[in-house]
Amino acid sequence: MTNGRTIDIAPSILSADFSCLSEEIEAVKRGGATILHVDVMDGHFVPNLTVGLPVVKSIARTAELPIDAHLMISEPGRYAQQFVEAGATMVSVHVEADAHLHRTLASIKGAGAAAGIVLNPATPIESLGEALPFADYVLVMSVNPGFGGQKFIETSVDKVRRLRRMIDERHLETRIEIDGGIDLKNIASVVAAGAEIIVAGSAIFGAADPETAVRRLREATVQWV
Ligand code: DX5
Ligand code: ZN
């Protein structure tokens, strides 16, 4: 018997070695990664700077995996559509960063990608409010955004559980993604709570063998699929 759920393992390339990014991507693909998570930071919404449109464009040309662009930038509506045009198939924006969330989600979907809303650890699920039906997925941050390798915030498990209930009660198809501090010890609990897209950075690229690390994470979720 299966539960009929699809679990995606989405390595965050933030923790990868950028000098050999294509080899890192090939390794996680062999391990069973189904999505590539790309963290875009502007040094304003979060206290760090990372990569942007040109990097998404080159990965999209070669990676042969769907690209999930997590925009940790102020006024994401100004750039969201350009990330779709660069090749992202999923684009998420923070509810805390966008005064025009509905318009941004519509522009992502209009450009042909799945649209996600991201919640910081201190942001309640109630803030999704009227926007929830317009999102294809909600990304629950289980660390404060800005850096890889931080400690998982344990209360995120209950947050995912309550969000799952809210989505089910509203008869929506919204998927739940989780990002931050995910490793072999906590992946089963977040999947049991209702998360389906699992981002992991340091647990994969910080491991001696990223391919095996992805495989082990996936194996830890098998009873839920
Ligand atoms: C944090 C980023 C994450 C990060 C995850 O701001 O959104 O995607 O790369 O890295 P780990 O899994 O190491 O917490
Ligand atoms: Zn992320």
Entry pTM: 0.98
> Is a pLDDT exceeding 60 seen at residue 1?
no
Residue 187: predicted pLDDT: 98
Nearest ligand, CA of residue 181? Answer: 1
State the Cα–Cα distance between residues 204 and 160, nearest whole angstrom.
22
State the Cα–Cα distance between residues 95 and 118, nearest whole angstrom.
6
- Over range 62-70, report the average pLDDT: 97
Residue 3: predicted pLDDT: 81
> Is a pLDDT exceeding 80 seen at residue 2?
no
What pLDDT, in 10s, does the model give residues 169-219?
999 999 999 999 999 999 999 999 999 999 999 999 999 999 999 999 999
Residue 224: predicted pLDDT: 85
Q: What is the mean pLDDT of the chain?
A: 97
State the Cα–Cα distance between residues 148 and 127, nearest whole angstrom.
25
Active site annotation includes 158: no
Cα of 173 vs its chain's centroid, Å: 17
SS3 content of the chain, % helix, strand, coil (to 5): 45, 20, 35
What pLDDT, in 10s, does the model give residues 121-170?
999 999 999 999 999 999 999 999 999 999 999 999 999 999 999 999 99
Neighbours of 51 (CB within 10 A): 17
Per-residue DSSP letters for 129-185?
A: GGGGGG-SEEEEESS-TT-SSPPP-TTHHHHHHHHHHHHHHTT---EEEEESS--TT
Q: Is the CB of 200 under 6 A from ligand 1?
A: yes
What letter would DSSP give residue 18? Answer: G
- Over range 77-88, report the average pLDDT: 98
Q: Is the CB of 11 under 6 A from ligand 1?
A: no
Compute the distance from residue 2 Cα to the ligand 2 centre, in Å: 29
State the Cα–Cα distance between residues 5 and 210, nearest whole angstrom.
24
Per-residue DSSP letters for 202-221?
A: HHHHTSS-HHHHHHHHHHTT
Quick one: which atom of ligand 1 is closest to the CA of 15? 9
Partnered with residue 177 across adjacent β-strands are: 139, 197
Active site annotation includes 179: yes
Q: Are 126 and 162 in contact (CB under 8 A)?
A: no
Helix (H, G, I), strand (E, B) or coil at 115: strand
Q: Is the CB of 12 under 6 A from ligand 1?
A: yes
What pLDDT, in 10s, does the model give residues 86-101?
999 999 999 999 999 9
Residue 166: predicted pLDDT: 98
What pLDDT, in 10s, does the model give residues 9-41?
999 999 999 999 999 999 999 999 999 999 999
Compute the distance from residue 70 Cα to the ligand 2 centre, in Å: 5
Per-residue DSSP letters for 187-205?
A: HHHHHHHT--EEEESHHHH
Cα of 113 vs its chain's centroid, Å: 14
- Over range 41-59, report the average pLDDT: 98
